[in-house]
């Protein structure tokens, strides 16, 4: 894989889906730039670009919830990454295992919004 095979947006970013490698659970979605992708590849832990702080961040560096990279993929269009990890703890800043813990009810259900 070459970085030239990837399509970054106008800000130099590409979305990255993070998945627990052994269960398939989607843990989070974050943004990478070329530098964070290279750091992820070389260090074996996930690095992302924080759009709010405008800086690189190594997931789990301060919380201890390091994500050890097992596999790294890109999609057929080259515009989205998938990183399969072994997560040492919760992925979400709320303490939830996954950032995807809130459900939107489907139309017709008794729990409509």
User: Residues 93, 97, 98, 102: what is their CA dihedral angle, to the nearest 10 degrees?
Assistant: -90
- Strand bridging mode 81-87 / 14-20: parallel
Q: What pLDDT sits at residue 109?
A: 65
Residues 6+ apart with CB under 8 A from 17: 26, 29, 80, 81, 82, 83
Segment-wise mean pLDDT, segments of 10 residues, the chain, 113 residues: 86 98 97 97 97 94 94 96 96 93 87 55
Cα–Cα–Cα angle for 62, 68, 73, nearest 5°? Answer: 125
Which class does domain 3-87 fall in?
Answer: alpha beta
Q: What pLDDT sits at residue 3?
A: 78
């Amino acid at each position: 894989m070459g970085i030239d095979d990837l399509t970054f947006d106008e800000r130099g970013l590409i979305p990255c889906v993070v998945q627990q490698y052994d269960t398939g659970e989607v843990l989070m979605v974050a943004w990478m730039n070329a530098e964070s992708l290279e750091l992820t590849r070389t260090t074996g832990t996930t690095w992302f670009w924080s759009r709010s702080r405008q800086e690189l961040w190594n997931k789990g560096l301060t919380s201890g919830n390091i994500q050890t990279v097992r596999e790294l993929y890109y999609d057929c269009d080259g515009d989205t990454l998938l990183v399969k990890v072994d997560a040492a703890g919760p992925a979400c800043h709320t303490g939830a295992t996954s950032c995807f813990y809130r459900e939107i009810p489907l139309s017709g259900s008794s729990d409509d919004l």
